[in-house]
Amino acid sequence: MFILWTIIGFFSGSIMYSKIIYEKKTRQKISKIGDGNPGSSNVIRGAGLWLGLLAMALDYFKGYLPVLIALSIGGISGWEIVPVAVSPVLGHAFSPFLRMNGGKAVAVSFGIWSGLTQWVGPSIIGASMLLFSFVISPRTDGWKVILSMFGLLIFLIIKMDSLAISIWAFNTSVLAFKHRDQLAFPIALKLRRKIR
């Protein structure tokens, strides 16, 4: 049964609502706006705040609902929740509808942790993100995302929840990969420019 829910989660995550909303509204490619990421931030930039918030909400729920339903009525328990919870994040980050490309998976990550922990996990991530926003440059949002996930990790370690820690490891690895350009250290960036 967990295989079915993993497939459902992956398919749910792979639907790129931001791309659909932006391109339907503007008749332009979302890859041409901002950093080209098919996410809600670029919908806000190119199509306005309200459509951007709608895209963000849809990205959130495509992570939240599969996990919540799998746990509540899908008969999923124990280690089976690990692939089910990770699958929407993987679907969003590596969507088959975008030739295995995708978004940065932040909103969908909030969604899966809501399904797993209700308000606790997202609150910790959000509070950590807000805290780091005062000390980290907006140009390095990747660090803000990853450090916020470490705030969640501390909570999971205190709870001694090994299954949730496994999900955290997969989730954070995907987030780090999708933000890899922003996570590069200044020295590495300078070396890259010299090589070019």
CA–CA separation, 51 and 39 (whole Å): 11
CA distance 81 to 75: 10
DSSP, res 73: T
Please name which of 169, 145, 175 lies closest in space to residue 157, comparing C-alpha atoms: 169
Look at residue 116 in the predicted model and tell me its pLDDT.
Answer: 95
Read off the pLDDT of residues 40-93 as tens digits, 9 standing for 90 and up.
Answer: 888 988 888 999 999 999 999 999 999 999 999 998 989 999 999 999 999 999
What number of other Cβ atoms are within 10 A of residue 30's Cβ?
Answer: 25
What integer pLDDT is reported at residue 139 of this predicted model? 59
Q: What pTM did the predictor assign?
A: 0.88
Residue 148 amino acid letter: S
Give 189's pLDDT tier (boundaries 50, 70, 90): very low
